[in-house]
Amino acid sequence: MRLFLCEKPSQAKDIAKVLGATQRGNGCINGDGVTITWCVGHLLETAPPEAYDESYKKWSLSQLPIVPDKWLLTVKKETQSQFKTVKALLKKTTELIIATDADREGEMIARELIDYCSYRGKVKRLWLSALNESSIRQALSSLKDGNETLPLYHSALSRSRADWLIGMNLSRLFTLLGRHAGYDGVLTVGRVQTPTLTLVVNRDMQIEKFVAKPYWTITAKLANNQTPFIANWIPPEAVTDEQGRCIHQNVADSVFNQILSGPKMAQVLSVTTEAVKETAPLAFDLTTLQVVCSNKFGFEAQETLDIAQALYEKHKATTYPRSDCGYLPESMRSEAAVVLDAIGKTDPSMLPVLAKLDITIQSRIWNDKKLTAHHGIIPTLEPVNLGSMTEKERLMYQLIRSHYLAQFMPQHVYNRTVAQLQCNDALFQATGKQIVEMGWRSLMKDTSEEEVLDTTQSQVLPPLTEGMVCELKHAELETKQTKPPKPYTQGELIKDMKNIAKYVTDPRLKQKLRDTTGIGTEATRAGIIKNLITRGFLISKGKSIRSTGAAFSLMAFVPKTITDPGMTAIWEQALDDIEQGHITIDDFIAKQSQWITQLVQQYAQSSMSIEPTKTPAKETLPCPECGAATVRRNGQYGEFLACSRYPECKGIIKGKSKSKKK
């Protein structure tokens, strides 16, 4: 039997359609001599420490570090039934085609099953960048040999095991040190979550330590032939800060007084005009969608992902959401007419807009060379029911739709004019924007990420020429204060996780992080932020997120090698070396184990400074599962004691029922 192993049911359905397989089975789709099944993400996970030794259930410094001699995997409880299906199919398979996502993680999802289930048959690789019919047919005609992509599995497995070593050992280490200081919560540490938390802590420290400084501006209201416009004073460099703001009040006062006492006029020194052409924005990738939805609608990162997932799975309205790419395969251009027709049938109010589109426009979005494992998020080929969507789902659908429609509209074109004027020996500058062609912006005035993130306002200048004299109508001197950095929103934090390279100084590491799109992935960043909130390291305040006292204490205590995103870049270089066969998994894990051992030895006898957890009103008992402290919670059936390590440990002590009087 020939078996296709996909990552998700939706992939299996698309591939089955091309293969002509239509018979639904239990967790699979059958055809003539072929079966297509799926994994629902990872069906296996790295076993917890207690799977190696029962004594690890109770956390102790004396047990650290925990470094497995032989690594174990366990079947995920929530997807046990699908695992059984895949395992049974592998036993009957003579040729396996891996059809998971075309990346490291997709390779690992399939290969760990192959190893765990001891499959020894032929292996081929279906390498897909898109799930439209033509892309699938092309990939089916050029299957890769399984050995070609095996190194991807080795690098993904190395990353997974190294993440386990850091997470399990250092989380236990710093949690136990925290307990000695009176803090009963869990202090988790991770390769991605810790640098992410550091970003927020550092931003909050900048805000806390910020001291406002005054600066002065002069604004002149000028006129040419009774047409008013605004010009701003350009102070000399000798009296400005790095942002070009005047920081010497006496200079600003002197210039302002000269303007008021002198002739009420300003002479044009120079005028430059350039034509600016803006191409339409790409389709959304998940990060950009999270940024725009956070800033525009106040959506949390996980909420944006959940809504996008609902549009994809429930409503079949948009394509796969966990994409890190805004480009589309060139082969999908032929489907544009079908997509536009579906949009018109979905929302007839869009028909006047659709009538103005030019399907022959060659947008930059169609580019096979820019594709990653997934293409940009766009509307699907079939009409959908807008009435079945929630308000938030409709808002997001309209965002995604607008970005797609923009590809078939002209460029946004405007003339940008910069005029410099002299008023009583003081230099002023006026900037104007004259729109020539609205183009795609007529469709996206309130929806594009550019509009959301760019608050720059521009005026229309009257005709100006060098030497022309303009009338000075009014001048105003203002004292202003520098403002502290703004707190992170979830969208902005996601964006900085992706663009983490800007916080790294080493040129080689900086480039590596750019090449690997930062820390975390499109699929995991929202979950990392959610976990930091759940574990009490971050709190939401309106649209903003702020770090807690525990986060400040932990980030001040853990080694810089953990908080520095440069470590991820070093790892990525090592993972590349594993892919290329320069080093082995064992070499990489041995180095990580040695490093973890040194950190444990270095910190095991240290004292952490952290605010103790408030003593509960009633005495609590240790967790029956792991021995950690418990905290009182109220549930459906009254008060109970829950492990402070939740969700890592789910041990509870149920409340005692009151005895009946005899």
320 is catalytic: yes
Compute the radius of gyration of the chain from its Cα atoms: 30
Q: List alpha helices for 271-386, DSSP H.
A: 286-297, 301-313, 336-346, 351-355
Q: Which long-range contacts (CB under 8 A, 24 or more apart) does 337-343 make?
A: 338/381, 339/378, 339/379, 339/380, 339/381, 339/404, 340/405, 340/408, 342/379, 342/380, 342/381, 342/382, 342/383, 342/384, 343/379, 343/401, 343/404, 343/405
Q: Say which amino acid occupies 38.
A: W
Q: List alpha helices for 389-524, DSSP H.
A: 391-405, 449-453, 490-498, 507-515
* Residue positions counted in the chain: 662
Q: Is 23 helix (H, G, I), strand (E, B) or coil?
A: strand
Considering only CA atoms, which of 587, 399, 485 is closest in space to residue 210? 485
State both tokens at 343: 């949009």
Q: How many helices (H) does the chain have, and how many strands (E)?
A: 20, 21
Q: Say which amino acid occupies 302.
A: Q
End-to-end CA distance of the chain: 71
State both tokens at 212: 């406002």
Calculate the CA dihedral of residues 589, 590, 591, 593 and round it to 10 degrees. Answer: 80
Report cis status (omega within 30 of 0) of the bond before 647. yes
For 488-545, the DSSP string reads EEHHHHHHHHHTGGGG---HHHHHHHHHTTSSS-TTTHHHHHHHHHHTTSEEEETTEE
- Angle (CA) 432-433-439 rounded to 5° is 180
Q: Is 580 helix (H, G, I), strand (E, B) or coil?
A: coil
Q: Measured between alpha carbons, how far is 401 from 85 in angstroms, rounded to an integer?
A: 38
Q: Measured between alpha carbons, how far is 210 from 157 in angstroms, rounded to an integer?
A: 44
Q: Measured between alpha carbons, how far is 570 from 82 in angstroms, rounded to an integer?
A: 36
CB 95 within 8 A of CB 68: no
Instruction: Give 145's strand partners.
Output: 124
Phi and psi dihedrals of 557, rounded to 5? -100, -40
Phi and psi dihedrals of 75, rounded to 5? -80, 135
Strand 34-38 relative to strand 2-6, pairing: parallel
User: Which residues make Cβ contacts (< 8 Å) with residue 209, sequence separation at least 6?
Assistant: none
Considering only CA atoms, which of 402, 397, 404, 405 is closest in space to residue 307? 397
Q: Which of these is catalytic: 56, 153, 215, 320?
A: 320
Burial bucket for residue 465 (CB in 10 Å: 0-12, 13-18, 19+): exposed
Neighbours of 424 (CB within 10 A): 18
Which residues are tagged catalytic? 320
